[in-house]
Structure 1
Amino acid sequence: MAGLLDFDTPIALLALLVLQYFPDTDEVTTLIRQYRQALPAGSVVVLSHVTGDDPAMPVAEATRLSQNTDNPTYARTRDEFAALFADALLIDPGIVFAQHWHPDSHNTDPEHTCVYTAATHARA
């Protein structure tokens, strides 16, 4: 694995639909902070997370059912998702549902996703 990433140039860290498998928000927040500090200047961290905040999506029942599996999920609210970024400044458009994060101009009626998405710069 050594040498696969060039830490002399910016890196994009994408943690997309992964963090909902980790129940402890404080541990995840610490992990994200450590990644941000380890990445070279100019890097970007993009996170997404399942949420039950979208009333159009029945996430609560799916999350409840997942608790009886080998890989339970933990839906976080907007505030809980925001906490993962700690004090980092978010890149526009901030925390939004995935369908509203840089939407394709041809997609005038994006479908609900029940997923929050946001990005920040490393070492901010």
Structure 2
Amino acid sequence: MTRPSWAPEGIDLDRPSASRVYDYFVGGMHNFEIDRELAQMIEKFTPNVAETMRANRDLLRRCVRFLTDAGIDQFLDLGSGIPTVGNVHEVAQARNPEARVVYVDIDPVAVAHSQAILDGNPLATIIHADMAQPDSILQDPEVLQLLDFDRPIAVLLLGVLHFVPDDADPAGAVAKLLRVCAPGSYVAITHATADGQPAEVLEAQKLSGRTSTEIVLRGHDEIATYFRDWTLLEPGLVQLPLWRPDNPDEVVEQPERSGAYGGLARKD
């Protein structure tokens, strides 16, 4: 196949990428047939998976709009994937052209694609790092160049912690990241769950092993501990469609079908 300009040399186009599968599910254009084939296999087990992915992306947009309107002008987005289709820098910079965004992803495929997409935007960048090793992120020169941790910042952990296995201590990693944030900072978390989900979800989870990032489903109470002692804003940690919907009258029936919880907390 012809390699598009946004797919740098060195990217294997014959192996599915979790980032590109996600891009496909949210309606992006940065994916290939191999990614779409895996996505369609997952859909056979969980027909609502695309709905789940879109619900996560919709929450991201609502959250970034809220944060920007609250005066936050710098964002650290961990596990960002490929920043297309209304991602953080697009939403934040549409409201505040001076907003600064650092994306972080462990997937070299996502990083390479993102570097091509962000070329020419001096206030947005991506680094290749593992969120389970927060020290390397907090000491990265590009992070320190764009972000000032002495001022309020938004840490975004949207759809990433369920890719961190228990033995990598996701709770400890989150605690380190939040410890350095100034008062007035926020943390947003979304996380896949098995709560209220049918058995097919577990089968679809196995398919995630076809990529380099297998999903770990966790329960509400465990996910809630990631917010530490920060103040959880209303409506708390809830199913994705229930988090500050643009139109409460249009919330879908059975919001638990989103298969994930989301919430936002502030450091007082």
Q: Which has the higher contact order (CA 8 A, sep 6+)?
A: 1
Shorter-normalised TM range: 0.7 to 0.9
Task: Give me the whole-angstrom Cα distance separating, in 2, the residues matched to 1:33 and 1:81.
Answer: 13
In structure 1, the residue matched to 2:3 is: none
Number of aligned pairs? 123
Structure 2: distance between partners of 1:84 and 1:25? 16
Identity percentage of aligned residues: 33
Matches within 5 A, 1:67-86: 67-86=209-228
- Give the structure with the larger helix fraction: 2
- For structure 1, the 5+ residue unaligned runs are none
Deviation per CA, 1:45-84: give whole Å up to 9, x if none.
0010011213379422211332454211111111221232
- Return 5+ residue gaps in structure 2 as ranges: 1-141
Runs of 4+ in structure 1 over 6 Å off: none
1:45 aligned residue: 187
RMSD over aligned Cα, in angstroms?
Answer: 2.4
Counterpart of 1:119 in structure 2: which amino acid? L
Deviations 1:10-41 (A, max 9, x none): 11111100111111178111111111110111
The answer (yes or no) to whether the contact 1:51–1:75 under 8 Å persists in 2 is: yes
Paired residue for 2:21? Answer: none
Alpha-carbon distance in structure 2 between the residues aligned to 1:103 and 1:56: 25
Q: Say which one has the larger Rg.
A: 2
Measure, in 1, the Cα distance between the counterparts of 2:202 and 2:162: 13
TM-score normalized with structure 2 length: 0.41
Say if 2:202 is the partner of 1:60.
yes
Cα distance, 1:85–1:106 mapped onto 2, change above 3 Å:
closer
Moved more, 16-25 or 85-94: 85-94
